[in-house]
Amino acid sequence: MPELVVFTPSAAALVRRLKARYGALILHQSGGCCEGSAPMCFRANDFRVGANDVLLGTIEDTPFYIGAEQLRQWGTHLQFVVDAVPSHSDSFSLETRDDMRFTTGTRVK
Amino acid sequence: MTTTIAKPSLFTDALDFVQKQGVRTRYDNFIGGKFAAPVEGRYFTDVSPINGQPLAEFARSSPADIELALDAAHAARRAWGKTSPAERAARLNEIADRIDANLQVLARVETMDNGKPIRETLAADVPLAADHFRYFAACLRAEEGAITQLDDQTVAYHFREPLGVVGQIIPWNFPLLMAAWKLCPALAAGNCVVLKPASETPFSVMVLMGIISDVLPPGVVNVVNGKGSEVGHALAANRRIAKVAFTGETTTGRLIMQYASENIIPMTLELGGKSPNIFLADVMDQDDAFLDKALEGFALFAFNKGEVCTCPSRALIAEPIFERFMERAIERVRRITVGNPLDPATMMGAQNSSEQLEKILRYIEIGKQEGAKCVTGGGRADVPDDIKDGYYVKPTVFVGNNKMRVFQEEIFGPVLSVTSFKSVDEAIEIGNDTLYGLGAGVWSRNGANAYRVGREIQAGRVWTNCYHLYPAGAAFGGYKQSGFGRETYKSDLEAYQQTKNLLVSYSDKALGFF
């Protein structure tokens, strides 16, 4: 069965680069408005993973979580593709310091 | 969809106009009543989504700038908090008057920075911002404490006191109006503020600071620009703030809650939605003004290019009228003119950023992959050469079912997902089958049915036979994962206040315990 989430080489490279600078990281899939629907990247000890978070996958030893309710609503019929793209957007996610942005796309499994 | 004709001078004319009115090409932070260069001397260039052209430079701040802003706010805190309600209300009313007097400048700045149509900024964003200041000035004047006589000689006095210094982080979809929503109750209640606008849209707030710099005592309002990843923690987790308010996405909302827990301070969170817009069968009982209004209500997913937390992005239509209603509704959507938002004829302007454009296009692809039927739109909009580097999408309508991801995820763009329902109960069930609960709409000629749907939908605001009205005086806020707290309503004052109780005995008789 295919993985539920895959990371593009540029997403993996960005995680590697951020990890070298900030130490252990965590990715968490956001929802809602504005910069929502994208993975947010924080220092691992900055964001508290809750009992209702589900581990979607791991990249460069960095866990990628999503809220259980959000995963239930999204369904698992499509594969999530985490990518990294140049961006001037503003959020609390660490990669925006480098004018980059993680994105979550999908493709048919 | 039709496309407006090329008018190459619109953008340069608008930029020239606002610059002649004193709008700058570089904005420092606004701290202690004046513009102050960022400590590290870094700036970023803000570009217009209309054509990708630069608008102005803004401070790319560091935590040291947040500390300076907090120093200024704390220096102003005591005096501002003790200002009489009449005086504070007068200051808020003066801000409203200045906003009104600068309508043309602020509307152009907002349209150039956000990409929203000038007809919206002129008629909604800017006038509503002014009105919010007047509304909270009025609330402040009318506010009273409470006295309870507990017995003949014991009285409880309840005073409303400001919290002190608060931190506010606002989004890019209604830059000026969201600043007003956050600032008005905080200032009315006697707080000082450190505000961080979104880096995508810092322009109108900084222009406003220039316009009102002499209205408030120095330090009462401080604005620090920069990225959430660089200054967000310094503000939201700062032990020198007494409250934090945030509008944005859910994961950062959780992070803000964590930060607030570290300091044991209150917070207000508004985190988006996936709002159902429910059309009961009786809307088509007659072909009249009401049906016309309902059809416009369907098309309102394109308001502010869908970049609205309450975007009616799911339309639920009664099965017996589905085909007839959709035929009329889609025809209405096809009449939406997409183009340069500075053109007064344009109904839908540019998405706010290239990232936003890409996200919307990604979701359109997801809809297609999932088998939703695209009945209109479905890609980038064709625009004239002068704005070809801007971010334009066709108003897009999918027909599918509520389990599809385009029905569940907030796309934050002009993408509508439509499905049908067999009964009012099913409409309520589908309407509530979402993580969010910010807004909803219900359309019916039958008051009892409309009332029932309105009460059963788990959302903070249910527009009934209307949509996308944002008057001061009506509570706005979320159920479920849309967050909590209410804005644009007098109760928002309390969200920025402490209750001080003096419990006073007028008796000289000891308790007798010791």
Which tens digits make up the pLDDT trace of B176-218? 999 999 999 999 999 999 999 999 999 999 999 999 999 999 9
Interface of B with A in 45-104 (CB under 8 A): 47
Concatenated DSSP letters for B395-410? -EEEE--TTSHHHHS-
Of the residues B110, B120, B200, B270, only one is catalytic, namely B270
* CB of B369 less than 8 A from some CB of A: yes
Q: Burial level of B451, CB count in 10 A (0-12/13-18/19+)?
A: middle
| Residue B9, CA distances (Å) to A55, B107, B392 in order | 52, 17, 19
Q: Would you call A35 and B309 a contact, using CB atoms and an 8 Å cutoff?
A: no
In this prediction, residue B8 carries a pLDDT of 59
Tens-digit pLDDT profile for residues B414-440: 999 999 999 999 999 999 999 999 999
Q: State the pLDDT at residue B5.
A: 54
Smallest CA–CA distance, residue A3 to chain B, in Å, is 18
pTM: 0.96
DSSP code at position B52: S
Q: By the 8 A CB rule, do B274 and A36 touch?
A: no
B229: nearest Cα among B257, B255, B267, B260: B255
Residue B140 predicted with pLDDT over 60: yes
Active-site residue, B327 included: no
Measure B453 CA to nearest chain A CA, in Å.
Answer: 22
Tokens describing residue A85: 């793209």
Q: Which two tokens stand for residue B365?
A: 């692809």
In this prediction the ipTM stands at: 0.96
From B184, B192, B309, B311, active-site residue? B309
Q: How far apart are CA B243 and CA B254, in angstroms?
A: 15
- Inform me whether the C-beta atom of residue B13 falls under 8 Å from chain A C-beta atoms: no
The residues with which B47 forms a beta bridge, in sequence order, are B54
DSSP code, position B386: G
Whether B227 contacts chain A with CB within 8 A = yes
How is residue B465 annotated by DSSP? S
Q: What is the pLDDT of residue B6?
A: 53
B192 has catalytic annotation: no
Interface of A with B (CB under 8 A): 28-38, 40, 42, 46-48, 50, 67, 69-70, 73-75, 77-78, 85, 87-97, 101, 103, 105-108
Asked if pLDDT for residue B380 goes beyond 60, the answer is yes
CB atoms B172 and A90 under 8 Å: yes
Note whether B408 contacts A101, CB cutoff 8 Å. Answer: no
Residue B146: its pLDDT value, please?
96
pLDDT tens, residue by residue, B57-99: 999 999 999 999 999 999 999 999 999 999 999 999 999 999 9
Residue range B254-275, pLDDT digits in tens: 999 999 999 999 999 999 899 9
pLDDT score, position A74: 85
Q: What pairing do the DSSP bridges indicate for beta strands B165-169 and B243-247?
A: parallel
> How far is Cα B165 from Cα B186, in angstroms, rounded to an integer?
9
**Strands B373-376 and B479-480, how do they pair?**
unpaired
Spatial CB neighbours of B382, under 8 Å, sequence gap ≥ 6: B3
Strands B192-196 and B221-223, bridge-based pairing: parallel
Q: What is the pLDDT of residue B132?
A: 98
**Most distant CA pair in chain A, distance:** 36
Amino acid in the structure at residue B116: K
Nearest CA in chain B to A31: B250
Mean pLDDT of chain B: 96
Q: Which residues of B touch A18 (CB under 8 A)?
A: none
Q: Catalogue the E-assigned strands of B206-266.
A: 221-223, 243-247
Triad B357, A19, B169: Cα angle to 5°:
50
The mean per-residue pLDDT over the stretch A70-78 comes to 88
> Measured on CA atoms in the order B414, B419, B424, B429, is the torsion positive or negative?
negative
